[in-house]
Structure formats: structure tokens, C-alpha cells
Amino acid sequence: MDQQKIDIKNIPVHVEVHTPDAAKTSNYKPRDRIYVRAVKGLHQLIRRYIGFAFLGLFMLLPWLKYDGNQAILLDITEQKFNIFALTLWPQDFTILAWIFIIAAYGLFFITAFYGRVWCGYLCPQTVWTFIFIWFEEKIQGTRNQRMKLDADPWTASKFFKKAATHFCWLAFSLLTALIFVGYFTPVDTLFIEFFTFEAGFWAVVSVWFFALCTYGNAGWMREIMCTHICPYARFQSAMFDKDTFTVTYDEKRGENRGPRSRKDKDYKAKGLGDCIDCNLCVHVCPTGIDIRNGLQYECINCGACVDACDDTMNKMGYPTGLIRYTTEHSLNGKPTRILRPKLLGYILVLVAVTSAFIWTLYTRVPLEMNIIRDRGSLFRLTDTGLVENTYTLSISNKSQRATVFDISVAAEMSFQWIGMQQVSLQGGETRSVTISLALDPYSTELNTIPVTFTVQQQGEADVQLQQSTKFFLGSR
């Protein structure tokens, strides 16, 4: 037993605490401001036209009228969404779910095929950021002028330019917020009441909240939203493969990079590639990355570096496409597969969910009915000896127009009907209709009789709902 004993030794432990060197960390900047340089080219022209179309739709849609009402009104307080002739209620959640699923798989499909082009061409964060940068360029000048202005001491001219820039930012943010809130409340009334100080508390709070969010996101945070906050930047690479078109630098052609004269035609003999190391691709990038370092999750595929590089190549007399939309397979000399299993899978899912969405819309009945019974008194005997059951029908007109509905009942027996057989409802109105059925108890030996109520829109055989219940006679 003594030979199995293990001696225990005390090992002293010395922990050293390293404190940061203030001299080395005092100049550390967690984020330097990105000064985006203006660039012209095919991709930026496309991006601007798409951005203008998107912005125009956003600004115009709340003002459209349909059948005398706001065409698109997502009224949360009334719990109904009017989209032209379609009115969605909380019971129509499946339709909204289908819309979100279609949008998600559409985004997945586009990402697998052409990379992160949604972020570069249509994302509201990108569109509004470029609009804010446009204000900067018009008021403060070019990229170099803006950098010099920020480095200069404060003067009256600098204060005026900065104040004018932020005023334009805030004014455009306020307009954006008013239009956005106008999707959820009547937009014409909102504009009038907001500027006449008659708007309600929550309307005012909502407008200023979204205005400040727009001002902060597009004016100050900018690329932080794309690189650190937006989750799409983190998982989009999971949808990439070697056949995905992304903005890519052709390293084999561009390296070794270095400056040279336009007249220098023997640069390749000196070991230089086509990249002249002008850094314009970095200056025009809204997220401040260097695409020559390879594919990075911060890249939003806006194509600004493609246009800047193509312009430089044209000036140098070199072939364009040093930076271009291409695939990894293409760069390695292999053919690019457009129709591949991943893309086909997204297409099949898109077709399936779109078909389900269309079928749900096609079979949707703009009507709802619920039968409510008094559980305390299932039946009663009338003075004439008949058994009477009372039903309360809650009928909702889920359309936008006034409609007349016919109410009927079907059963094995012939009942005496007591109550309304027609009901007129305004668009979006819900009304409870009380109906009684009476029957001679000696006309049948059954204790319960199945009955089916039908509510049908007058003149529209397809717009009807049926719901079954029971007629109780009690034990005899």
C-alpha cells in the first residue's frame, strides 16, 4: 500500500498582469471615417437607376388611391392590411408568411447566382447611404476636399458647410420617416396634421423615431450596419460556391502591382502586372475594403471598384476586367456551371412556395363566420310547444366594399326560421346576427340533429362559407 502512495508537491504559481502601454494605445482608432470617392461607369449607372426606381416607388406608393381609399395602408390599430383590392386580416397570417418565405428564397437564389448584389443595388441602407454621400459631395466637395475640410480648423465656412449637410440629412430623414409612417396611417392626413402640430402623440413619436434612425444609419453608421449589425453579411457566404458571380480581383493578371508610366509597354518584363496600385478601388468602396485582398464578407457587390478599375485600365490602354463580376471556376480556367444543384434547388423551392401563395390567394374567401352558442341554455320550449335553439352568427366582411350576404340553413328536417336572412356589411365590418331555429319535438326521435349554416355573398356563388353545428332537442 505504501508503494502506491503518490507524493504531492506544492508548485508555486506566479501570475503576471500586463497593463497596456498608454503610449502605444493612445492613437488607436476603433473606426476611421470612410471618404467615398465618386465614380462613373456602367455598374454605377445601373445602380443609380435601380436606386431611383426603388426610391420613387417608396415615395409614390402611399399616395396612390384605389376605389377612393389609400391603395396601400397597413393599419395596425385596425388590424387590417389594405393592398389595392386585397385586404388581409390577422386570420390571413399564412398569406404574409408565404410572402416572407418567397422573399427569403428569392434572396437566397440571387445570392447563390450573383453574390451580394441585393446589398449593393437595392438594400435601403445602401440606397440611403449613397443619397447622403451625394449631399456631402454637393455641399462639401470631392473626396479630397472633404478630407481637407475635416482636417482644417473650424471656420465660418466649415461650420456653414457642415450645418447645411446635416440640415439636408435631417430634412431627407424626416421626409423618409413621414412617407414610411404613411404606410401605416393615412398619409395625406399625416402630412397635414404633422406640420400643423395636430398629429397624435404616437404618430409624432413614430415619425421622429424613424427620422433619427435614418439620420443615424445613413449619415453616421453607414458601413457599420453592413459589416457588424446586418446578419446577412455573416451567413451569405454559406450560399456562395465556386460558380457564384462575385466582384473579384484577377490576381494572376494584376500582380505584381506597381506604378508605371502610360508609355511603359515593357512593364511585364520588369515583373509587373496590370494593377498600377492607384488604390482607386479602395477609395470608391463604400465599406472601405481592398478587393485585391480577396473575397471579404464586407463586400456588398456594388461594382464601384469594377467601374473605377475599368476606367483606369482604359486610360492605361490595358484590357478591362482586372476587377470584374466573375466566378472562382472562371478565374482558374474552368467552365462556370450556371444550372447546378444548389441553384436548381432554390428554383424548385421558389416555384413551390410561389404556387402555394397563388393557390392561397385564389382560394381565399373574403368572408368569415363563427357560430356562437349560449352554453347555459342549449334549447328552450316555446309557448306553442316547439323546441327552439338560438345561434349567434359572427359574420365578417373581409373585403373593402359594402356587401349583402344571404344566410340559410340545411338539415334533414324542416325548421321554422326566426331572424334575419340577409345582412348588409360595410367593408371590414363585423356584425353578430342572432337566429333561432324551431322544430316540433314529436317530428323526430333524435336528440340532436346536425345543421349547416351557409353565408353567401349575393350574386357570387363562389363567395360563401359553411359551418356545421347541432340542433338540440333534449331527452324525452
pLDDT of residue 19: 55
> Do 452 and 408 sit in the same domain of this protein?
yes
347 domain-assigned: no
212 and 311 fall within a common domain: yes
CA 376 to centroid of chain Cα atoms: 49
pLDDT computed for residue 232 by the predictor? 84
User: Same domain for 181 and 227?
Assistant: yes
Same domain, 50 and 183: yes
Q: CA–CA separation, 64 vs 186, rounded Å?
A: 11
User: Is residue 439 a part of any domain in this protein?
Assistant: yes
CB 474 within 8 A of CB 447: yes
- Domain boundary (316, 333, 350) is at 333
Question: What is the C-alpha to C-alpha distance for residues 39 and 309, in angstroms, rounded to an integer?
Answer: 10
Residue 386 lies in a domain: yes
Domain end (from 279, 313, 333): 333
What pLDDT shows up at residue 28? 42
Q: How many domains does the chain have?
A: 2
Domain identity same for 122 and 269:
yes
The answer to whether residues 192 and 240 belong to one domain is yes
Residue 91 lies in a domain: no
CATH number at residue 381: 2.60.40.10
Name residue, grid cell 326566426.
418
Q: Are residues 235 and 319 in the same domain?
A: yes
Q: Is residue 80 part of a domain?
A: no
Among residues 333, 350, 380, the one where a domain terminates is 333
What does the pLDDT read at residue 450? 95
Does 289 reside within a domain? Answer: yes
Do 326 and 383 lie in one domain? The reply is no
Instruction: State the Cα–Cα distance between residues 466 and 346, nearest whole angstrom.
Output: 38
Shared domain for 227 and 306, answered yes or no, is: yes
Alpha carbon separation from 89 to 211, 234, 238 (Å, rounded): 28, 34, 36
Say if residue 189 is in the same domain as residue 120: yes
342 within domain boundaries: no
Map residue 121 onto helix, strand or coil. helix
Residue 213 counted as domain residue: yes
For residue 306, the Cα-to-chain-centroid distance in whole angstroms is: 27
**DSSP-derived pairing of the beta strands 380-381 and 387-397:** antiparallel
Q: What is the pLDDT of residue 405?
A: 96
Closest CA to 126 of 344, 280, 300, 259: 300
Per the CB < 8 A criterion, the answer to whether 319 and 309 are in contact is: no
Query: Does residue 372 sit in the same domain as residue 432?
Result: yes
Domain that residue 257 falls in:
30-63+115-333
Other C-beta atoms lying within 10 Å of the C-beta of residue 58:
15
Q: Kindly give the confidence (pLDDT) of every residue in the chain, 476 residues in length, as a single tens digit, with 9 standing for 90 and above.
A: 555 666 665 655 555 555 555 554 444 445 578 999 999 999 999 999 999 999 999 999 999 999 888 999 999 888 889 999 888 888 888 888 999 999 999 999 999 999 989 999 999 999 999 999 999 999 999 999 999 999 999 999 999 999 999 999 999 999 999 999 999 999 999 999 999 999 999 999 999 999 999 999 999 999 999 888 888 877 887 889 999 999 999 999 999 999 999 888 889 988 999 999 999 999 999 999 999 998 888 899 999 999 999 999 999 999 999 999 999 999 999 999 998 999 999 999 999 999 999 999 888 889 999 999 877 788 999 999 999 999 999 999 988 889 999 999 999 989 999 999 999 999 888 999 999 999 999 898 889 999 999 999 998 888 999 999 999 998 76
Shared domain check, 405 and 285 = no
